[in-house]
Amino acid sequence: MQDGSGRIVVRGLTKNFGHVAAVQNLSFQVEPGSVTGFLGPNGAGKTTTLRMLLGLVNPSSGEATINGQPFHRLGNPGRVVGAVLEAQGFHPKRTAINHLRVYTAAMGLPDQRAMEVLMLVGLGGAANRKAGGFSLGMKQRLALATALLGDPQVLVLDEPANGLDPEGIAWLRTFLKSFAATGRTVLISSHLLAEVEQTIDQVVIVSRGQTVYYGSVEDLRRSQQSRVLVQPADAQALAAALQEAGHTSVTLLPDGRLAVVDATVQQVGDIASKAGIALYGVQEEQADLEQLFFRLTSGQWSAQGYAPPGFDSGQQVSGFGAPQSAPQAPQYGGYPQQQVPQQQAPQYGGYQAAPQFQQPSPYQQQAGYPQQTGGFQQPGLPGAPGVPGAPGVPQQGYPQQAPVDPYQAQYQQQSPYQAPQPTSPYQPPVAAAPTAPVEQPPSALSEEQPTQATTPEVKPVEVAPAPPPPDVPDPTTPDAPASDTTGSDTPASDTPNNEAPGQGSTGEGGKA
Ligand SMILES: Nc1ncnc2c1ncn2[C@@H]1O[C@H](COP(=O)(O)OP(=O)(O)OP(=O)(O)O)[C@@H](O)[C@H]1O
């Protein structure tokens, strides 16, 4: 029996395509009256999740319900859920209005509804144009119009901003917000937080098929901590002085600066002055939401030598530092870094490293300087490995442990992409850290480890696509029925009664 709530509940949802764990034990809830963003990098499992929600793929385990029911039990699903998985599959010779009339007829709706929805999405003027001549953005609008035909209670859209121009994105934002404001439910996927940041109220961030954050965008924003970047005459001495004063979250950056998370500029200045340490530059820096998103999802497709712009590879010396995600993933600090001219940078791929940080330190495990052991715990957000909260549904606001998928891990060394090293908008008043060898006293700083993100010489890697395991179909093959190795999934075309209008427009099977 439908509960009529418009609520989407995903509980313990898992989908394996042969050896590919596309979705792993995913749990979240989408409330009516809000727009929820479903975010994650390519291959994170977003589309597979949406397809399970829409009855196009059978879960390996777990469940996804709308109004308390799985999709196939919704009765007239087109009146409950409007969905767009791909803005493709229109008959190229059919006009927009005729495309919609096929669905109004199938759903028992009056013909005039077709024109109404075209007006709603701004395509009234193109009603008699053939869909084959539509731009990508126009196709997105036509797909949305199709999804809206049944005046549904719930909208599920996969990458709806794809192909839209800035005006189209602004229009979509307003449209979705006002749709949700009427008490209805909107779930939209995207791989770009910036694209949907102003549209969404809630966010579910997935990486490698698992939830890494689930909660309000506001909480995510609040979790951002500023940090103080300081260029001291003696980094070790300042780190020790900060530690003595109780500031334990200190990170040594590759350029010799210290990043202090739990102190103000004034506190750092006062401590340095008391300790008689000259400062050549102090700056407060705020990490932004996009950077946090990268941090939460980094590692899925990371390759040697690649780091998203704006990320450093600073070595944590105490307290909070860069999350160390999956094995082999670059370690991102989430903050822009200083780039030092190549000729001065024998170590760390372009970064001048003070010699005292180049040797293994006997003090790495020194008390008070805990080493980060992995996971994605963020400052201000209590870490919660696994799934906290109610059974099967994670508590909101918790970043979660990223999984390591051995099958996907093989791609981590194989990316053909070699991105340029990031550059920083920050230019400290004084050049890089000292280069003269320094005799080591017992150190308050743990030494730097070169990371993959800062490999000195980056060479393009010849990549052969990873062959799928013998019994697993090629994941890049577009059509799902063949590639879904459960063999149990029912293509949309086999279940006309269950076909939501948006899905009809998307064709069947997998995504391209
Ligand atoms: N039908 C299928 N057969 C085999 N593997 C599949 C199939 N569909 C998806 N996969 C695999 O499952 C994983 C998740 O894919 P999915 O399309 O759900 O990711 P996504 O987050 O939507 O990515 P994108 O942002 O690139 O669209 C990928 O490794 C993909 O190759």
How far from each other are the two terminal CA atoms of the chain, in whole angstroms? Answer: 35
Among candidates 337, 341, 340, 347, which has minimal Cα distance to 311?
337
- Note the pLDDT of residue 251: 87
Q: 22 alpha carbon to ligand 1 midpoint, in Å?
A: 6
Residue whose CA is at the smallest distance from ligand 1 atom 20? 43
Rounded Cα–Cα distance for residues 42 and 264 (Å): 38
d(Cα 251, Cα 319) in Å, to the nearest integer? 8
Q: Which atom of ligand 1 is nearest to the CA of 407?
A: 29
CA-based torsion, 338, 343, 346, 350: positive or negative:
positive
Taking each helix axis from N to C end, the angle separating 166-181 and 136-148, rounded to the nearest 10 degrees, works out to 10
Q: What is the pLDDT of residue 253?
A: 87
Q: Which two tokens stand for residue 201?
A: 């109220």
Q: Which residues contact 353 (CB under 8 A, 6 or more apart)?
A: 254, 256, 345, 346, 347, 433, 448
pLDDT at 299: 56
Ligand 1 atom at shortest distance from the alpha carbon of 18? 4
Residue stretches of the chain with pLDDT short of 70? 1, 224, 287, 298-512
Q: How far is the CA of 15 from the centre of ligand 1 (A)?
A: 10
| Minimum-distance ligand 1 atom for the alpha carbon of 472 | 4
Cα–Cα distance for residue pair 414/412, rounded to 1 Å: 6
Distance 208 CA to ligand 1 centre (A): 10
| Distance from residue 44's CA to the centre of ligand 1 (Å) | 7
Q: What's the 329 CA to ligand 1 centre distance in angstroms?
A: 21
CA of 185 to the centre of ligand 1 (A): 24
The 10s digit of each residue's pLDDT in 267-294 is: 999 999 999 999 999 998 876 777 778 7
* Token code pair at residue 384: 């919660």
Q: Specify the ligand 1 atom closest to the Cα of 50.
A: 18
Domain ranges of the chain: 8-207+486-506, 226-381+413-462
Query: How far does the centroid of ligand 1 lie from the alpha carbon of residue 43, in Å?
Result: 5
- Distance between CA atoms of residues 315 and 231, nearest Å: 15
* Three-state secondary-structure class, residue 216: strand
Closest among 254, 421, 258 to 344, alpha carbons compared:
254
The whole-angstrom separation of Cα 472 and Cα 204 is 29
In this prediction, residue 220 carries a pLDDT of 81
Q: How far apart are CA 228 and CA 263, in angstroms?
A: 7
Q: Is 509 left (phi over 0), alpha (psi -120 to 50) or beta?
A: left
- Decide: 251 and 316 in contact? Cβ < 8 Å: yes
Picking from 6, 38, 89, 92, the residue whose alpha carbon sits closest to that of residue 502 is 89
- The reported pLDDT for the residue numbered 313 is 38
CATH fold, domain 8-207+486-506, is Rossmann fold (3.40.50)
**Closest-lying ligand 1 atom to the alpha carbon of residue 191:** 25
Residue-wise burial string across 406-415, b where 16 or more C-beta atoms lie within 10 A, e elsewhere: ebbbebbeeb
Instruction: Provide the 8-state DSSP code for 301.
Output: S
Which pair of tokens denotes residue 367?
């008390």
**Site residues for ligand 1, CB cut-off 6 Å:** 17, 20, 22, 40, 42-48, 191, 473, 475, 480, 483-484, 510-511
What are the helix (H) ranges across 264-306?
265-274, 289-297
Closest by CA position to 429, among listed 236, 229, 225: 229
CB 11 within 8 A of CB 390: no
How many Cβ atoms sit within 10 Å of the Cβ of residue 465?
A: 10
d(C-alpha 252, C-alpha 445), whole Å:
8
